[in-house]
Structure 1
Amino acid sequence: MEKTKPMVAVVDDDPRLLESLEELLESAGYAACCFGSARGLLNHGLSHLDLLITDIGMPGMNGFELRDQVKKVRPELPVFLITGRHEIADQGRAQGISGFFRKPFDAPALLIAISEACKNRDGG
């Protein structure tokens, strides 16, 4: 039986970033679903997701708020935060929070982190 591709959701208010991340994820063998807002993702539902990548600075609900909402429903779901504001990413890393990526991010490093997070989730 073939295992389905891990499903990675991406939430960012920048359509170009969504498009490039979707291409990157799909080229690496993941299924990607992209949303322009936190509300779009929450309306869609979380049950089918293996990992979430969200921008921090978005109108409406920001990435931290989205992460907190998601963790209430799916505490085991890995959530990666991306930001163009370097001080936020550095501060997050300094606090020992994994899954912080600065824009523009290093695609191979991001893919390795996604792979590891999906493996850890599967008990791998």
Structure 2
Amino acid sequence: MTTRILLIDDETEFVTTLAERLEIRGFSSTTAEDGEAGLALIRKQPFDVVILDLLMPGMNGLEALKQIRQISPKLPVILLTGHGSTREGMEGMRLGAVDYLMKPLAIEDLMEKLQEAVAP
């Protein structure tokens, strides 16, 4: 079975490239450009894991994470943070994220986190 990933990130070029790299590795990727769009997708279809950017205009990643927890409490979420900020990543884990990665990220690190997130 193909792992279904939802990528929520406002950086269009980054998220498009990441989706392509994940699909090459056998994952099914759906993208959303902001928290609201991501939440709408989660309400409509099942995903195995969410990769969520913390710093987005409008609804930030932490707020989106809180709402994801209400919609789908067991859905694994991996946070992405840039700007050298680990504080938000730690806060995200307190709110139920599986882990966080710093941007720019190495695809190998992400693959490792994805494997951990979807492991039974």
Which TM-score bucket, shorter chain as reference?
0.7 to 0.9
- 8 A contact 1:55–1:82 mirrored in 2: yes
State the superposition RMSD in angstroms: 2.1
2:114 alignment partner, SS class: helix
Structure 1 equivalent of residue 64 of structure 2 = 66
Structure 2 equivalent of residue 43 of structure 1 = 40
TM-score, with structure 2 as normaliser: 0.86
Partners of 1:38 and 1:31 lie apart in 2 by 19
Structure 2 equivalent of residue 107 of structure 1 = 107
- Residues 1:91 and 1:25: Cα distance change in structure 2 (over 3 Å): closer
Q: CA deviation at 1:102?
A: 0.6
TM-score, with structure 1 as normaliser: 0.83
The structure with more radius of gyration? 1
Gaps of 5+ in 1: none
Give aligned-pair identity as a percent.
27
Count of residue pairs brought into register by the alignment: 116
- 8 A contact 1:81–1:101 mirrored in 2: yes
Q: CA deviation at 1:90?
A: 8.2
Q: CA deviation at 1:112?
A: 1.1
